[in-house]
Amino acid sequence: MRIRFNFLTALMVFVILFPAPSAALPFDQTTALRASQAVVGETIPDYTLLDRNGRPVRLSSYRGKPLLVSFIYTGCFQICPATTRALLQAVKAAQDGLGSDHFNVISIGFNQPADSPQALKSFAAQNGIHYPNWEFLSPPASMVASLTHDFGFSFAATPAGFDHIRQVTVVDAQGRIYRQIYGESFAGDMLGEPLRQLITDAPMPNKVSLSAILERVRILCTVYDPVTGEYRVKNGLALEVAGGLTFLIAIAWFFLLEWRAQRKSRRFPGV
């Protein structure tokens, strides 16, 4: 009975400390890129979202000027903040060259209901974004699927958060998707050039082949390291598995010691 009690106790502890991870949806990079490029040239429907103060904002209210759109989730403590700060630097550079009143920026929280107006307000403040032409918007949960589809933004839940394509969508003054910009940083004039083309009424660019941009897209399976300024493979799940195996080995060792102790006590009663 003593071994059975210890086994059940150890099993209960294991289940509590190492619950089974939730199943992750399949997320294919090529499929995500294909969906992203497929919407270039399409007009965004007139969705109504909430700003950081809970006030309704219609996307059509941004027509008349070029618009930059990014998707984030506020529960991300590394990659989304790092990418947003990189976007901030690119926006500053574009404003220096084009002026602050020639385009707008919005960041949309796709993890609903967690990405509430208050959560987005805190996220903006934590990342030092206080620009009048940059708003953070919260859609209702029922809208997320159609909204992200229309922007060509793909994401999938994982045990650690979300995998998603990292993109900034450039929308023209008529509400049409003009270009998709990919990656975790925006070197050179990656954003400034398409904005300049829109301001000067340049024609819609040709769609870029998937093979030409595939290597430039990072998916959320990496973690930003502020010490090196680089991204490394996320190993949190691997560490959890290693911890679980270590625990199982410890249980097996414990059983072996118990078995040897009980065997010895039967052979040498009173010892």
> Residue 16 corresponds to which tokens in the numbers above?
């509590």
Give the domain CATH number at 148: 3.40.30.10
Confirm whether 101 is domain-assigned: yes
Q: Are residues 247 and 263 in the same domain?
A: yes
Q: Are residues 45 and 8 in the same domain?
A: no
Q: Are residues 55 and 178 in the same domain?
A: yes
Confirm whether 172 is domain-assigned: yes
Q: Are residues 249 and 161 in the same domain?
A: no
Q: What is the pLDDT of residue 50?
A: 98
Confirm whether 6 is domain-assigned: yes
Q: Are residues 199 and 247 in the same domain?
A: no
Higher pLDDT, 196 or 221: 196
Confirm whether 226 is domain-assigned: no
Q: Are residues 17 and 54 in the same domain?
A: no
Q: Are residues 110 and 244 in the same domain?
A: no
Q: Name the DSSP letter for residue 138.
A: B
Q: What is the pLDDT of residue 111?
A: 94
Residue identified by tokens 């910009």 is 181
Task: List the beta strands (DSSP E) in 152-201.
Answer: 155-158, 161-164, 167-171, 177-182
Out of 101-115, 125-139, 188-202, 211-225, least confident range = 211-225
SS3 content of the chain, % helix, strand, coil (to 5): 45, 20, 35
Give me the mean pLDDT over the 28-43 stretch: 90
Confirm whether 134 is domain-assigned: yes
Q: Is the pTM of this model over 0.85?
A: no
Q: Are residues 57 and 185 in the same domain?
A: yes
Q: What is the pLDDT of residue 223?
A: 43
Q: Name the DSSP letter for residue 24.
A: P
Decide if 231 contacts 218 (C-beta within 8 A): yes
Rounded to an integer, what distance in angstroms lies between the CA atom of residue 75 and that of residue 115? Answer: 8
Rounded to an integer, what distance in angstroms lies between the CA atom of residue 241 and that of residue 93? Answer: 44
Higher pLDDT, 232 or 77: 77
Confirm whether 225 is domain-assigned: no
**Alpha-carbon torsion angle 47, 162, 210, 35, nearest 10:** -30
State the DSSP H helix or E strand holding residue 162, giving kind and residue range, or none if neither: strand 161-164
155: domain range?
Answer: 29-218
Does residue 257 register a pLDDT over 70?
yes
Rounded to an integer, what distance in angstroms lies between the CA atom of residue 190 and that of residue 90? Answer: 8
Domain count of the chain? 2
Confirm whether 127 is domain-assigned: yes
Decide if 133 contacts 6 (C-beta within 8 A): no
